[in-house]
Structure 1
Amino acid sequence: MLKDFRAFIARGNVLDLAVGVIIGGAFATITKSLTDDIIMPVVGALFGGFDFSSYFIRLGAIPADYKGSVDSYAQLKAAGVPLLGYGEFLTVVINFVILAFIVFLLMRSVNKVIATVEREKAAGTAEPAAEPAEVVLLREIRDELKGRGAVPPTA
C-alpha cells in the first residue's frame, strides 16, 4: 500500500496539481489585493464612497461591556455579536467574479497560444513539396548515364 501511495504521489499529475495549488494561492492573494485595494475603492467612489463591508444586519444584542462602534462590522464580529454580513458576502462574490474573469482571460490567451503552436506544428509536418519536373528529369538522365557507364558513380 505504501508503495502504491508513493507511486501515486510521484506521478506528474499530482505534482502538477500541487504546483497549481501553490500558484493559485499566490494568484488569489494578488487578486484579493487588486479587488480590495484598487477595484473596490473605485466602485465605492462611484457609489458615494461607501464600503460594502459596512452593510450588515445585527441578529443579536450587543454585549453591555462593548466599547467599539455599533457601525463597525469587524468590531462587532470580534465582540461576538451575531451578524448577517451581506456586505462582506457581496465583496467575496465580486472578488470571485473578478478572479474568474482573470482566469478566463488567462486561459483564453493560453488556448490561443496553444492553437498557434499546433497550427505551426501541423504546417511543419506537412509532406514536402514535390520536386520540380526538371530535377526529376535530370536525375533520370544521370541514372541512365550511370547505367551505360558513361558517368563515373558519385559517392
Structure 2
Amino acid sequence: MSIIQEFKEFAVKGNMMDLAIGVIIGGAFGKIIDSLVKDIIMPLITVITGGGVDFTQKFFVLGDNPNNLTSLDELTKAGVNVLTYGSFLTVFLNFLILAWVVFLLVKVLNRIRKKQEVAPEPEATPADIELLREIRDELKKRPQI
C-alpha cells in the first residue's frame, strides 16, 4: 500500500474529521470566552473594585525609563522592558472560565450518556430452575395431610 493511500485512509477516517471539527469549534469557542472576559466580566470587576481598573494596563517597568513614560503603549514603542501582568491576569481568567465551561459541558454529556445507557436485561433463568420452581408451586397448591 502506498504512503499516499495510507494517508488518504487516515485523513478520511471519522476520528480525524471529528478532531478537525473539534479544533475549529474550540477556536471559535475560545473567541467567545475571550469576548466574555474582556467585554463583560472585566468591566464588572472594574466597577466592583471602584472603577478605573483596567487590567490590560497593569504593568511593571523593568529597567530604565529615561523619559518617564507612563502608558503601556508609549513604553512598548520606546522599547522599554515591561512586565505586563495585567494581560496575564486577563488570559488566566479566560483560561479559568473556559476550563469551567468545558468541565460543565463534560459533566452534562456524561449525565446524558448515563441516562442513555440501558440497564442490562437479567439473564434468563435456566430451564431446570424454572422446572423446579413449577414443581415447588404445584406442591404448595396441594392440600396438606
Q: Normalization by structure 1: what TM-score? A: 0.68
Larger Rg: 1
Matching of residue 126 in structure 1 with residue 121 in structure 2: yes
How many residues are matched?
Answer: 122
Alpha carbons 1:55, 1:86 under 8 Å: kept = yes
Residue aligning to 2:134: none
Alpha carbons 1:54, 1:71 under 8 Å: kept = no
Q: Normalization by structure 2: what TM-score? A: 0.72
Residue aligning to 2:28: 26
Percent identical:
47
Q: Output the CA distance in 1 between the equivalents of 2:84 and 2:9.
A: 46
Matching of residue 115 in structure 1 with residue 117 in structure 2: no
User: Equivalent residue of 1:87, what SS?
Assistant: helix
Q: Which runs of 5+ in 2 are unaligned?
A: 125-145
| Counterpart residue type for residue 32 of structure 1 | D
- What is the CA-CA distance between 1:80 and the residue it aligns to? 3.4
Residue aligning to 2:141: none
Residue aligning to 1:46: 48
Q: Which range moves more in the overlay, 55-64 or 34-43?
A: 55-64
Q: Output the CA distance in 2 between the equivalents of 1:71 and 1:111.
A: 51
Q: Which runs of 5+ in 1 are unaligned?
A: 130-155
| Counterpart residue type for residue 15 of structure 2 | N
CA RMSD of aligned residues (A): 2.6
